[in-house]
Chain A
């Protein structure tokens, strides 16, 4: 499993790094770890239109961030653009990577919720790190990062301003639609009625949480990852209140998939 030491079969140089690349729908993330699974460097940038170039650039930036020129022993790619990472030794799904990263971080059974730019995942792992089951959201982007981006556009706000606004009020405007486009129409009605912008933003955050809760029961220790949570901690707070228990947001929550990929890269080659 992820916490095991590399076996003797590993032919990587003794001080090699292991690289995980997560080419997501919105952002590409790279994590470099050493043999002891310590994060040496990481980088994130918009995935853009050229996944290959973005992945290479991200790797360079992760090296620069980690101030390292150690060789990369192996690379595992994941995410929507996983097959476009030409320097990857293998690619695996982000479902698998998130599960591996989650177990590495919490070391026990957990329910992982990843809120990504385009889709959400709920993954349950048992006490050995084995994935019990998983669910992805349906095709609609409601409840994902793309939803919040659309809401920000409608409210003429930068996406980065959403969290502070949501945190500034306890009032949440009701957004009940499953559909992002319909939710934007609901926002128009709220604006016409004079509802404050911060209440609408908080309502959008509540909507994200509600969409997640509709996917699967969140049981046991709940771990929350993904770029949406990394940049909007209010969502974690809202989810915690809804489920009545503490929610774990690991450090580098946006890098969970890339970390899982790096941990898999560290495992002996199959």
Chain B
């Protein structure tokens, strides 16, 4: 009983700083017991890539989804391309995938996917194979790394100084600069062209197995034997004279070095050539042949830029007249209308449209590009120069540039070890006039 009384009296006698220390430790312990962060199924905060990047795995929600159970199977679809082929299935169950969700164009399912419950709220629903999918943290442009882009005005806008120096022309840019009657210098970019052209590389690592190697030490004892009987030394009667080397043999240094010439003032001038094959198959568009935008061409034009539409409708081909509202706009999901712009007199405008001969190309194949330019304004424009800074993976095929009007072609190296194709029109363009520039590139 006495001990209890002493204990109580001692507990009452704790100094105040100890109480603060105890409270601080408890608070610290409670703060350190953090719960796992809530992973929202619809969260896009985690930057991720399609591969095995660090960022993708750092915060990716490990939500297991069942294999899609829609039919028909993609394996059967692949096999259907060749009727003699069949799925070789060693296992009992064959996973199937109905449609390629990345190519599906149903946008409603994206929003429905954001309503998926979190894993801690119960069993997650099976993966909806019909919905377009993109990695968390990435927008719908997916996957951009499989496409080759050229055209438009990427990054800083292209500008022309008073000395006619072009600034801001980066790789993939395709613009036209021209001068108005009153001396103004204007720049008009083209639309973007997208070509599906994935290129692969590899990283190799070679390692050897060293686990079975073992070094053995000598276990014997070296015991020298002494000479018991001295031998009689004989005087050397003859001596050999060593001949000194007369010539020294030395390694010859390298006398030739391979050098790579930088950009410098390298430029090639291509003489004017006749415009052959007036129109090719992929150029059978009204906007290319006549410079007029017709609704019937929209499907063809949309197919040429199918890659762009695959990831974003905003990336689709837009024909913009002097940065005003779209004169003609190509949409993927609906039939197109023709928009016209009522321009006041004296308004200089240039329309620049770029198309490619194919939407798919493998390295080594050649792609034809066609630029259609038209003076859609109401006054004459002159000093028209078309500039196309080719992508790193596009190599200009020499002597393939053609122009339907008198022009002077030249090339100049750009920063991507490709070239800037320059087409300078000799004569000014009257309102309503236009032309076609065509050139060929090889995909690297």
Asked if A and B bind, the verdict is no
Q: Which residues of B contact A (CB under 8 A)?
A: none
